[in-house]
Amino acid sequence: MAAAVLVMMAMTIALPNSFDRPWPDWTLPLAEGLLLVLLIVVDPGRISKRSTFLKWGTLCLVGLLVADTLLWTVLLVDQLINAGPVTQSVGTLLSVGTVVWLANIIAFSLAYWSLGGGGSVTRALHPDSSRDFVFPQELNSEIVGDGWNPAYVDYLYLGYTNAPSARPTPCH
């Protein structure tokens, strides 16, 4: 999860200056970084407990990332409608559109990871607990075996497949 948050922070900083944001470019990455550091300090890689603070801290971080992506989407649509500076160059438009699309995939994969099956801590402590999403690996147990559990990369794939469809993935 930390690597995905760092990628989102880097993408926020990498957006061109012509992509008008209502606050300084470093504001959201700083808030996301502080929340990430706080979560790591409170529980540095030990999935040993499910504290209320960790749960709400993770949900706040994911909510901030989703809100960040939503803001980017609104700003991009505004620039497209009003022929803003981003639309003056095909390369800039394509790079901003790609960043917004990738941010959408990452943000929602983190949301699925944080909420699906009770969250990452519940999945780690109770691997046989019920899942909220159906993964392709579950359709053929001969490939992955009976004890298969989804990892973050599976939720990233889920975010990727849901990005163009604008509809939720079927549940069990």
Q: Is residue 72 part of a domain?
A: yes
Phi and psi at 68, nearest 5°, equal -60, -45
Q: Which of 33, 55, 28 is nearest to 121 (CA)?
A: 55
Tens-level pLDDT at each residue, the chain (172 residues): 778 878 878 887 777 766 666 777 777 777 877 877 777 776 655 555 556 667 777 788 888 888 888 888 888 888 889 888 888 888 888 888 888 888 888 888 888 888 776 666 666 666 666 666 777 777 777 777 777 777 788 888 888 887 765 555 555 4
CA gap 55, 39 in Å, rounded: 10
CA gap 72, 54 in Å, rounded: 27
Q: Is residue 28 part of a domain?
A: yes
Contact predicate 102/11, CB 8 Å: yes
| Residue 18 vs residues 9, 69, 99, 129: alpha-carbon distances, Å | 18, 17, 14, 47
Q: Is residue 167 part of a domain?
A: no
Whether the full predicted model's pTM is greater than 0.85, yes or no, is: no
Q: Is residue 89 part of a domain?
A: yes
Q: Is residue 149 part of a domain?
A: yes
Q: Which of 129, 148, 127 is nearest to 137 (CA)?
A: 148
Total domains in the fold of the chain: 1
Q: Is residue 14 part of a domain?
A: yes
Q: Is residue 29 part of a domain?
A: yes
Q: Is residue 107 part of a domain?
A: yes
CB atoms within 10 A of CB 92: 17
Q: Which domain holds residue 84?
A: 2-162
Q: Which two three-digit tokens encode residue 5?
A: 């948050």
Whole-number pLDDT of residue 12: 78
Q: Which two three-digit tokens encode residue 104?
A: 């959408």
